[in-house]
Amino acid sequence: MPAFLSQYIEVCLFGREGNSAQYLLLQRSATEKVYPAMWQIITAKIEAGETALQAAQREIAEETSLIPLEMWNVPFVNSFYDVKRDAISFIPLFAAEVPLFATPALSEEHQQFVWLSFEEAKEKLVWNGQRQGLSIVQEFIVGKKSRKDVQEFQLCLMDNIFSLH
Each residue's pLDDT tens digit, 100-153 = 999 999 999 999 999 999 999 999 999 999 999 999 999 989 987 655 555 454
Name the pLDDT band for 18 (thresholds 50, 70, 90).
confident
| pLDDT exceeds cutoff 50 at 162 | no
Quick check: 14 and 64 in contact, CB under 8 A?
A: no
Query: Which sign, positive or negative, has the C-alpha torsion 123, 100, 114, 61?
Result: negative
pTM for this structure? Answer: 0.85
Whole-angstrom Cα distance, residue 37 to residue 26? 9
Name the pLDDT band for 5 (thresholds 50, 70, 90).
confident
Which amino acid is located at 1 in the chain?
Answer: M
Of 145, 1, 159, give the one whose Cα is nearest residue 74.
145
Quick check: 55 and 44 in contact, CB under 8 A?
A: yes
- Tell me the per-residue pLDDT of 31-87, one tens digit each, with 9 for 90 and over: 998 889 999 999 999 999 999 999 999 999 999 999 999 999 999 999 999 898 899
Question: What is the predicted pLDDT for the residue at 148?
Answer: 58
Quick check: 112 and 61 in contact, CB under 8 A?
A: no
Question: What is the predicted pLDDT for the residue at 159?
Answer: 46
